[in-house]
Structure 1
Amino acid sequence: MDSIVSVFGSFVNWDVKSLLLFTAVFILTADYFKNRRSGSFPPGPHALPIVGNLFTIDYKRTHESMTQVELAERYGDVYSLQMGQVWVVVLNRLKVLKEGLVTQGDSLADRPDLPLLLDIAHGQGLIFSSGNTWKQQRRFALSTLKYFGFGKKSLEPIILDEFTHCAKDFNSYKGKPFNPHLTINNVVSNIICSLIFGHRFEYGDEKFKKLMKWFDKGLQIQASIWAQLYNSFPWLMRRLPGPHQTVQHIWDDVKDFIRVEIKEHKQNWDPSDQRDYIDCYLNEIQMGKGQADNTFDEEHLVICAWDLFLAGSETTSTTLRWAFLYMAKYPEIQAKVQTEIDKVIGQSRQPSMDDRTNLPYIDAVLHEIQRMGNIAPLSLPHVTNKEVQLGGYTIPKGVIIIPNLTSVLFDKNEWETPNTFNPGHFLNEEGKFVKPAAFIPFSAGKRVCLGENLAKMELFLFFTSFMQHFTFSMPAGVKPVMDFEFGVTLGPLDYEICVTSR
């Protein structure tokens, strides 16, 4: 009897082992056939089963990982990565990016359905929507914001008035070291807030300060390995705790903030007196009711306002924080900027966009700050909406495309000193401003940054005003640290700076 039990136990034990072995072989085989690619697909590093190349990338320096020897220089300007169960193709250098984003722009105009973003924005809004939704929302946003002065001279007084508020805040430190991060975020945010919400926020507003901190944290998490894991294995990650849950709570809080603004607008909304983007959108909702292809509703308004709010705040404020740091690091360049301002504008009047053509050195410095700051190092992801030919390879429909802007902004074939801060990159022999084709910090093609014109105006007026009134320097004994904190945007590490009135 004991021998029979022993044999049966051994059989059951072996049967369990066989089942586990069969399951493992089945999963690996299925993974292999699912992710097998044809010889015409872009090459890439060897991928591990199931997780692919998820752990190939250094997520604290993702843009550098994608540009350096291990990937771009080994596999070429068009190469592939298997991120979990998702295929990604990375585009490097100007020729390939133009081929993808401009020449093949229609085929790459859509955004991928990334699970984390779908759970947050549900395919709505301006940034991560596609197709008819994106076209309708973008067209409406551009026309409405232009009506309120977006990128036009009529917006100059609002920007310059905001500078006066900031100047008072900076002067309050009386030349002592302070961290300008939150103030600058608030300064820049107030411009887009005036267009969306119809009003600005005081720098001491605790709720708004908290909102600015959420932006920074949210963008960092969305570029981390946690986001990659979520997008690769959403069925698992939705059930596990971690930063991927935190980022959803962050954006939920931001959306709730916007909903409060919308509710207040609705309480005293007058269709004949449209004061801002929200008022115009509420009117569009009413006008579009009953139309078959209408994409305008209140939840869409929340996501669109969130997109504009975030995009109109983060990139420009981050560029200005880099600007302060570069001016402190290169005082001789700062002095030359101030000399040009004193000569052309003087100290008695505020700058104007009309001054720009007469300030070529300032223009060059600003562009070099944007190039070196590399604010959107990997742009935003695209997805092929049909099979395309890129760089001699065949890329099927539904593959995510990453435009590596870093590879263009730091290309040794495009820039004389790619890794050195050099305003001469944007000046010709006569000292006049020139813009090389490789300067594409706002990306290119159909998905080029919607707020490019506003950003250019803000950067010029704010930077020129700061240089007109202040000198920036590091605290005694402190050297500028030019390292970055990686996220969807690339910001400098937090620092303290001394700002003295001229």
Structure 2
Amino acid sequence: MYVSEEVTLLLVAFLSCLIFFMGFKHFWRKGTLPPGPTPLPILGNFLQLSGGDIVQALLKHSEKYGDVFTVYLGSRPVIVVSGYKAVKEVYVDRGDDFLARGDVPSFDFYYKNYGIAFTSHIERWRDLRRFSLSTMRDFGMGKRSTEDQIQEEAQCLVTELKKTKESWVAPRLYISKATCNVIFSMMFGHRHDYEDEELVEVVSLMHESFTIICSTWGNIYEMFPHIMQWIPGKHQKIFVCLKKLLRFVEKSVEMNKKTLDENNPQNYVDAFLVKMKKEKNNPKSEFHMTNLVNSTLQIFFAGVETISTTLNYSLLLLLKYPDVLAKVHKEIDKVIGRDRCPKIQDRNQMPFTDAVIHEIQRFIDLIPMGVPRKTTRDITYRGYSLPKGTNVFPMLSSVLKDPTCFTYPNEFNPKNFLDESGELKKNDAFMPLAAGKRICLGEAMVRMELFNLLIPILQNFDLKSPVPPEDLDITPVVSGFGNIPKPYKMSFIPR
């Protein structure tokens, strides 16, 4: 049984006091860092950020200190950057200065700076990203072959939803199984039946670990990892889940090794194994088993959770706004009809639906604080001196809801992406998965999956909620590293 959050906070405070005298030298490293709330020794700005919603707390501080300010997560100074112009400067205009991955202790505990997504080692990241992009494109990412796979999975999903026979169901698990199978196929070369116990376990482990990382438990661990790793609490389940997921990947890699045809690799893991053999005599090669297992899990985890959470939130928002759903249904019937599978090129003829998908991604604000970055060298940024290795939070939430960029920043409204003639309107502040050189590896895949999984659901079903739309709560259940919708039930009514 997990101890209460109150007990955990008391333990953290007690241990913090014990090491106060030893740790004081780590504080007041402000120098010429941007201003911010005054930290306490060891605790840093914990008291100012512990009210429950760390994202809103950080955004509130930006109102006082400006677009660039400093907070201390425990003894670790972090530069918080908010607003479209400032975040774009970090991601794009000066992207090379902020190219290293920042600290994410919840993931770093197991990844240990290996793999493509969470390494701060620039050359490692470059080698693995170059290989991964090339390999995933070779196997069809963003192309017709991958779309065919997604379409087939979408039909499997529709079939499963029909089996619910209009009963009240929680859609998350159905959606997660479908998105998991798409990534399974690309990474390992196979899919699982929806009733497969291993599939259910994998999606459950990913969702549970991601939810805890985004919760108050996860936030506290991010601030005090060296203390919290010894304290019981819900955060300990993160490491249990990640350990099981790494073992699953290791087992899957071993299975691929047994069937590998070096002259005809069939998936990402196969291609990595071939690359490993080619570079086995290079002592500096980044293509070894540790990077294979970690990169595979990181791509897999991000691909499943990003898309499944977005789709799960999509259905909730369409239940909340039936007038928007009605217009999407009308456009689907006009452009696609009800007899053929949707294709990604249909999106060009469906400006309202396209605007709705954009607006869903903007409004749900999936990764509100962005994935942290680090400075790659000593730099001067907006008049402040940032040493090499300084952590930076590019607040994506502040970009996606920047009132200078969106007409309706704080409400769900597809007009944010429609011009006066009803056509899709491009907006440079639309960066739900970051921007620049270190943008999400599977961005093209995300766009294709969102359309090719969501539209078949809406093509085949009307959506019904057991409660009136006005009573549906669309605020996230947790908001830290990511925003996750509250659990809900719905009915899929065949059209």
The normalised TM-score by structure 1 is 0.90
Q: Say if 1:59 and 1:224, in contact at 8 Å, map to a contact too.
A: no
User: Which residue of structure 2 lines up, in the alignment, with residue 464 of structure 1?
Assistant: 455
Letter of the structure 1 residue corresponding to residue 94 of structure 2: Q
Letter of the structure 2 residue corresponding to residue 53 of structure 1: N
In 1, Cα distance between equivalents of 2:220 and 2:324: 44
Higher mean alpha-carbon deviation, 57-66 vs 200-209, is at 57-66
1:195-274 aligned within 5 A: 195-227=186-218, 229-230=220-221, 233-274=224-265
Q: Say if 2:211 and 2:484, in contact at 8 Å, map to a contact too.
A: no
Letter of the structure 2 residue corresponding to residue 63 of structure 1: V
User: Which residue of structure 2 lines up, in the alignment, with residue 500 of structure 1?
Assistant: 493
What percentage of residue pairs aligned between the two structures are identical?
A: 34
- The partner residue of 2:309 within 310, 313, 318 is 318
SS in 2 for 1:445: coil
User: Which residue of structure 2 lines up, in the alignment, with residue 419 of structure 1?
Assistant: 410
Q: 1:72 to 1:216 in 2, by over 3 A?
A: same
Q: Say if 1:150 and 1:454, in contact at 8 Å, map to a contact too.
A: yes
In 2, Cα distance between equivalents of 1:234 and 1:430: 52
Structure 2 gap ranges (5+): 1-15
- The partner residue of 1:54 within 46, 55, 68 is 46
1:250-292 Cα offsets, whole Å, 9 max, x none, are 1010011111111111122221221111111111110011113
User: How far has the Cα of 1:318 moved from its partner?
Assistant: 0.8
User: How far has the Cα of 1:98 moved from its partner?
Assistant: 1.0
User: Which residue of structure 2 lines up, in the alignment, with residue 35 of structure 1?
Assistant: 27
User: How far has the Cα of 1:317 moved from its partner?
Assistant: 0.9
In 1, Cα distance between equivalents of 2:248 and 2:18: 48
User: Which residue of structure 1 lines up, in the alignment, with residue 8 of structure 2?
Assistant: none
1:399-410 aligned within 5 A: 399-410=390-401
1:67 paired with 2:59, answer: yes
SS in 1 for 2:492: strand
In 2, Cα distance between equivalents of 1:238 and 1:266: 35
Q: Say if 2:356 and 2:414, in contact at 8 Å, map to a contact too.
A: yes
In 1, Cα distance between equivalents of 2:254 and 2:412: 47
Q: Say if 1:84 and 1:229, in contact at 8 Å, map to a contact too.
A: no
Q: Say if 2:115 and 2:290, in contact at 8 Å, map to a contact too.
A: no
Q: 1:317 to 1:378 in 2, by over 3 A?
A: same
1:265-304 aligned within 5 A: 265-304=256-295
1:154-204 Cα offsets, whole Å, 9 max, x none, are 211111111111111111112221001111011111111100011112221
Q: 1:38 to 1:157 in 2, by over 3 A?
A: closer
User: Which residue of structure 2 lines up, in the alignment, with residue 384 of structure 1?
Assistant: 375
Q: Which structure: larger Rg?
A: 1
1:78-477 aligned within 5 A: 78-129=68-119, 130-227=121-218, 229-230=220-221, 233-476=224-467
Q: Say if 1:185 and 1:317, in contact at 8 Å, map to a contact too.
A: yes
In 2, Cα distance between equivalents of 1:442 and 1:117: 18
Higher mean alpha-carbon deviation, 51-60 vs 278-287, is at 51-60
SS in 2 for 1:47: coil
Aligned length: 477
Q: Say if 2:27 and 2:41, in contact at 8 Å, map to a contact too.
A: no
1:294-331 Cα offsets, whole Å, 9 max, x none, are 01111211111101110110111111111111111111
User: Which residue of structure 2 lines up, in the alignment, with residue 18 of structure 1?
Assistant: none
1:119-175 Cα offsets, whole Å, 9 max, x none, are 301211111112111111111111111111011122111111111111111111122
Q: Say if 1:42 and 1:79, in contact at 8 Å, map to a contact too.
A: yes
Root-mean-square deviation (CA, aligned residues, Å) is 2.1
User: How far has the Cα of 1:240 moved from its partner?
Assistant: 3.0
User: Which residue of structure 2 lines up, in the alignment, with residue 45 of structure 1?
Assistant: 37
SS in 2 for 1:55: helix
Q: Say if 2:176 and 2:304, in contact at 8 Å, map to a contact too.
A: yes
In 2, Cα distance between equivalents of 1:238 and 1:208: 29
Structure 1 gap ranges (5+): 1-23
Q: 1:339 to 1:449 in 2, by over 3 A?
A: same
The normalised TM-score by structure 2 is 0.92
Q: Say if 1:54 and 1:228, in contact at 8 Å, map to a contact too.
A: no
SS in 2 for 1:500: strand
Q: Say if 1:99 and 1:390, in contact at 8 Å, map to a contact too.
A: no
User: How far has the Cα of 1:491 moved from its partner?
Assistant: 1.5
Q: Say if 2:106 and 2:238, in contact at 8 Å, map to a contact too.
A: no
SS in 1 for 2:235: helix
In 2, Cα distance between equivalents of 1:48 and 1:131: 33
SS in 1 for 2:304: helix
Letter of the structure 1 residue corresponding to residue 255 of structure 2: E
In 2, Cα distance between equivalents of 1:61 and 1:491: 13
User: Which residue of structure 2 lines up, in the alignment, with residue 10 of structure 1?
Assistant: none
Q: 1:417 to 1:272 in 2, by over 3 A?
A: same
User: How far has the Cα of 1:37 moved from its partner?
Assistant: 3.9
Higher mean alpha-carbon deviation, 200-209 vs 328-337, is at 200-209
